[in-house]
Amino acid sequence: MEDHICVAWIDDKFTDPDDARTTQAKAIDQAGGDGLSIELVPSTNDGFLDWVNRFSDIDQPRPDILILDFRLAQSPALAGSLKLDDGYKLRKILELTPLRLVPKYLVSAVFHEKQVGPNIEGFEWILADPVDSRSVSDQLISDGRDYRLIYDFMSKYSAKSEEALRSLIGQLNTPEGSCEEVVDLIHHALGRARQSSNAKAHAQIDSSGVGNEASALVFSRWLRGILLMRLGPLIDALSVANLLGADQDYYSRELAGLIANQRPSASYQGLFKYLCSPRWWRAEIINWILESFGDISLGPLSHLAPQMAARLSIPDDCRARCAVCGELWPDVVAYDVEDSDELRQVHRYCSEAVEDQELVIGFDEIRYFQKD
């Protein structure tokens, strides 16, 4: 059996054994069984600094994941007179401690499920109120194992092992037709990470693997914040629906299962698969179209989508329409300025690129739209 995943959860409510958050955390711990152990760490002035400092001993195993509460009524005395009354501030202080390279999650009941996402102001993930003990425990176990795999990869990659890189491609469950593209993107991402002053600083701390840990954290953030969130080799449900000429509801109801049955390799099943909306390999979707419908020819979506809608017998009122102009065959997805949590199917000419965004090689730009 694999080693259990160790999580440290910091919350001021843990001083009260009867508090709802304490009960909630214990339920998640129990749901994880032998695969998970959660240490409940009260964020009070008494004892918290001693708890942090015990990890100065290099032989003391650190947690696989830290969970920080968003609002802290009682804050730890780690920064003199600075009031650490929320998880954001506490995270910044922990960056100066032996726990600096441990992946950190932020949790709070104030977050809505639509607002969860990776890479938000230094956190690896934002958790909404984790009321489903089983799904949260499964996620933490899966995440912890994925972080360990990435660290193992980085240890080997530091020796410039192409074999290690191919091993990681296997952990991403990358289809053969997308392997070279993903290899190039990984080389680019790791090259940027190694050129950053932060990564160099971590690599110079000592020779005990801290540099590898820093690179592993940078790389896991790239996986979750770029590969699994930006549209590139992997695309979201709305982008697949655009290709097939279907609206969101019809795709989810009728077509997602069809593709899963006929082309299982199209669905992303690699690292961190539980932590984002479902993703599909763009190349596999295209291959499924070409192999399933021999007379379909590739081209602009305005040409491909109507062909697919006809071949799939999509009803007229279920065909893809632009959220802005209402016309058929949208070709991109974009955020609604009035409801920024939601992506919609739109035409490129009905939307705008987000200003000052980071343009990443191999990935689509982020777009938005605003109705008149």
The model carries a pTM of 0.85
Asked whether residue 256 carries a pLDDT value surpassing 80, the answer given is yes
Asked whether residue 205 carries a pLDDT value surpassing 50, the answer given is no
Tell me the pLDDT tens digit for each residue of 44-58.
877 888 899 899 998
Top CATH class, 5-132: alpha beta
H runs (alpha helix) in 84-223: 87-94, 133-157, 162-171, 179-195, 197-203, 210-222
Report which of residues 240 and 208 the model is more confident about. 240
Starting at the earlier edge strand, list the strands of the sheet with 5-11. Answer: 36-42, 5-11, 65-69, 104-107, 125-127
| Section 304-333 average pLDDT | 97
Asked whether residue 97 carries a pLDDT value surpassing 50, the answer given is yes
Give Cβ neighbours of residue 275 (< 8 Å, ≥ 6 apart): 118, 125, 139, 143, 224, 228
User: Strands, DSSP E only, in 203-257?
Assistant: 234-235
Nearest to 66 by CA among 93, 47, 27, 30: 93
Q: How many C-beta atoms surround the C-beta of residue 240 within 10 A? A: 20
- In the chain, CATH 3.40.50.2300 covers 5-132
Tell me the pLDDT tens digit for each residue of 1-17.
468 999 999 999 999 99
For residue 338, what pLDDT is reported? 86
For residue 4, what pLDDT is reported? 93
